[in-house]
Amino acid sequence: MSPAFGAMEVEHYSKGVLLEPFVHQVGGHSCVLRFNDTTICKPLIQREHQFYETLPTEMRKFTPQYEGVVSVSFEEDEDGNLCLIAYPLNGDHGNLETLDNSDCEPKSKLLRWTNKKTVLLENEKISKEWVRQHRKEEKMKSHKLEEEFEWLKKSEVLYYTVEKKGNVSSQFKHHNPWSMKCHQQQLQRMKENAKHRNQYKFILLENLTSRYEVPCVLDLKMGTRQHGDDASEEKKANQIRKCQQSTSAVIGVRVCGMQVYQAGTGQLMFMNKYHGRKLSVQGFKEALYQFFHNGKYLRRELFESVIKKLTELKSVLEKQESYRFYSSSLLIIYDGKERQEVAVDSDPEDLEDLSEESSDESAGAYAYKPTASTVDVRMIDFAHTTCKYYGEDSVVHEGQDTGYVFGLQNLIDIIKEIRDESSE
């Protein structure tokens, strides 16, 4: 047990984990919530759950790590504040104790689970009065956010100037409009169903942004087809129309959401799926360029890594017999934290070499301590995935998912174009 924890009994109402909006969600309509620093959770959809439990070994490095299932309840405190609380499933305490909440900031999570006693942060006296006061403050903040919410929904690309004195990563919490939208919609849905149902299953997944100080995230909707085999005629027609009116039909990929920190201007930029649907192929390319540009220069040191990983993923998917990843997304993530200055005439290849080395006094004027220049590439959202191993599916496909592979190849080609044009 972490030394930061000490055992003490608490009231029954607080024996759970208070879920918060996941501030780095940039796309999708399903609400993603923060369980702890390294784990997120989202509503359990049986098909997606089945995918994670039967995932081919060679695909695991390209998907979030699956960490189990929890029970989530919609609760209202004495002051009428709405919140979502996660509890372990009956008999599942042993699985949940491996999730370490010890790195959470004080008060951001009330408790963690263990198969011994419920434990709290040492010297942290949490009472009903504190909980009421904390949630009252959060409610006041939410009212201010709601005033902005109407125009946020209508704004497809937003820029926020970051406060120089504050921590950049912490400011995502107050500015990410898509995360706020999904969270409010989830609360509303659960509130409307509260009379009939108040227990929901959520799956726990790896938080892919946890290793980055300032995560820059690009959410790409992959494939030339988005509707699942079980879609209604209306849903099918709607998804076909979206593909035909976007870059999905032409290149097999479209922008579903983006957040990027532009150190040059000190701004956070958010782009949502509605803007992504309107982009031409050239507009898609410009959006990719914008994603890899920090406002000062193009992050060229990232290109080889992302191209390598996309190429490897393409090779893996070409070998997946009968899988169809309809309506799934691909995330590209890197750290937008600004690195220390280097000589302005430094060759980009030198910058790439430096990014793999630690700063050294002997490096003289060129010394700097870089942040991780690695790029993460992961597939997410498998609610409409199918394959021949799903026995209950009436439609069985053969061969690879050509629409997805087509999108990957075009994505690789466009990134290579940006790389080559930037070096001319």
Going residue by residue through the chain (424 aa), what tens digit of pLDDT does each one get?
222 222 322 233 347 899 988 888 888 778 899 999 999 999 999 999 999 999 999 999 999 999 999 999 887 767 777 788 999 986 443 344 333 333 333 333 333 333 322 223 333 333 445 455 555 555 555 555 555 555 455 578 888 777 665 566 665 655 677 677 777 777 777 777 766 667 889 999 999 999 998 999 999 999 999 999 989 999 999 999 999 999 999 999 999 999 999 888 888 889 999 999 999 999 999 999 999 999 999 999 999 999 999 999 999 999 999 999 999 999 999 999 866 544 444 455 554 444 444 333 333 333 333 344 689 999 999 999 999 888 778 899 999 999 999 999 999 999 999 999 998 6
Kindly report the pTM of this predicted structure.
Answer: 0.76
DSSP lists the bridge partners of residue 29 as none
pLDDT of amino acid 23? 84
User: Would you tell me how many other CB atoms lie within 10 Å of the CB of residue 182?
Assistant: 22
CA distance 169 to 108: 16
CA end-to-end span of the chain: 55
Measured CA to CA, the distance from residue 179 to residue 30 in angstroms comes to: 10
pLDDT for the residue numbered 31:
85
- Calculate helix-pair angle for 281-291, 402-422, nearest 10 degrees: 60
State how far the Cα of 173 lies from the Cα of 331, in Å rounded to an integer: 20
Note whether 193 and 228 are within 8 A (CB): no
Round to whole Å and give the CA distance between 192 and 33: 19
Amino acid identity, residue 14? S
Largest alpha-carbon pair distance within the chain? 68
Per-residue confidence (pLDDT) for residue 267, from 0 to 100: 85
Quote the strand ranges of 211-354, DSSP E. 215-222, 253-262, 267-272, 324-326, 329-335
Cβ-contact 317, 408 below 8 angstroms: yes
Alpha helices in 80-155 (DSSP H): 93-96, 128-154
Please, which residues have CB within 8 angstroms of residue 159's CB and are 6 or more apart in sequence? 267, 268, 269
**What is the sign of the dihedral through the CA atoms of 386, 392, 393 and 396?**
positive
Residue 76 confidence (pLDDT): 73
Q: Name the residue type at position 298.
A: L
Between CA 180 and CA 141 the distance in angstroms is 12
Superfamily holding 15-90+154-162+175-336+370-420? Inositol polyphosphate kinase (3.30.470.160)
Q: Could you tell me if 219 and 26 are in contact, meaning their C-beta atoms sit under 8 angstroms apart?
A: yes
Of residues 151, 174, 154, 150, the one with CA closest to residue 162: 174
**Helix (H, G, I), strand (E, B), or coil: what is residue 279?**
coil
* Dihedral angle sign, alpha carbons of residues 287, 294, 260, 164: negative
CA–CA separation, 200 and 151 (whole Å) = 31
Q: Which residues contact 187 (CB under 8 A, 6 or more apart)?
A: 74, 82, 84
Which residue do the tokens 């949490």 mark? 126
Q: What is the pLDDT of residue 360?
A: 37
